[in-house]
Amino acid sequence: MDRNALTDLVVAKLKTIYDPEIPVDIYELGLIYGIDISDDASVKITMTLTSPSCPVAETLPPEVEEKVASVEGITSCKVEITWEPTWDKSMMSQEAQLELGFL
């Protein structure tokens, strides 16, 4: 399977993972900063959280790793948390902003 197709499958899987405090998936929230798929189909996800004190800081990264690794064609997944740039609501998709009443 080519890298673009795998990326699409990974994005689709990310859209099934929700921040428990906000009824929008982590992809539309803008928490995913990067998806890198290597030649051996291992994935590195660079992501952030809504705040350093986010209550799911311990559980969300392993959930992302587990769910992305379950995508057909993906061999493994590793999440790297970053705080640069700091997340803010302008990073949300228009769809997410509409859903949350920001537009």
Q: What is the pLDDT of residues 38-80, one digit of tens each?
A: 999 999 999 999 888 888 888 999 999 999 999 999 999 999 9
* Alpha carbons 20 and 54: distance in angstroms, whole number: 10
pTM flag (> 0.85): yes
Query: Does 103 fall in a domain?
Result: no
Exposure of 90 by Cβ count < 10 A (0-12 exposed, 13-18 middle, 19+ buried)?
exposed
Query: Does 14 fall in a domain?
Result: yes
Cα 98 to chain centroid distance, Å, stands at 19
Residue 76: give its domain's CATH number: 3.30.300.130
Where would I find the H helices in 1-103? 3-14, 60-69, 94-99
- Containing domain of residue 48, as a range? 3-98
- Number of separate domains in the chain: 1
Q: Which residue type does 10 have?
A: V
